[in-house]
Amino acid sequence: MSKMSVLAAIAALALVTAAAADTPQPIALEPINHAEAELIIVRSDGTKQSYTPAELETLATYRVRTTTPWRDEPADFDGVLLSDLLAQSGLHLEDAIKVIAENEFSTIMPRALWETVPVLIATRVDGRAHTRRERGPIQVVIDMDDYTASPIAGEKHLVWMVARIEAE
């Protein structure tokens, strides 16, 4: 193998590794004490299911290292994928969901968003329980590369202090 071939292979591996770093990475989280919070899922038939941050973390957990419109420096956000939570709750086939914050801010998320962009429901930031002061304890996070590249994702989808998700 020539020196150029080796360098090309190393460059290709670096690009693949860099691209993989932008997507949510599976992570095992040790239990920690979370702020008191509850995320209520309301299905189209009106039935409800509630999750504390610790209960959310019983689903498969992921990490995204990214900035947000309110954070210039990258941070590690840990949590569950919205698509997994919706599948667990039976909302994955809805055309859209309504995400509502503790302060009653709400936004509509079309199914195309969670089917094409990895949307994280973050319960931790930089290894610590997410706090209200840091836009938690439950926050919607989208990697800024995915956010800026998506024709669907917008700042309105980056909800913090998430309290409810309803079938729309």
Tens-place pLDDT, residues 51-64: 999 999 999 999 99
CB proximity list for 148: less than 8 A, separation 6 or greater = none
* pLDDT score of 106 more than 80: yes
Among 69, 153, 165, smallest CA distance to 121 is for: 165
What is the CB neighbour count within 10 angstroms for residue 35? 15
Tens-place pLDDT, residues 128-164: 988 887 888 999 999 999 888 999 998 999 999 999 9
What are the chain's domains? 25-167 (3.90.420.10)
Instruction: Tell me the mean pLDDT in the region 29-43.
Output: 87
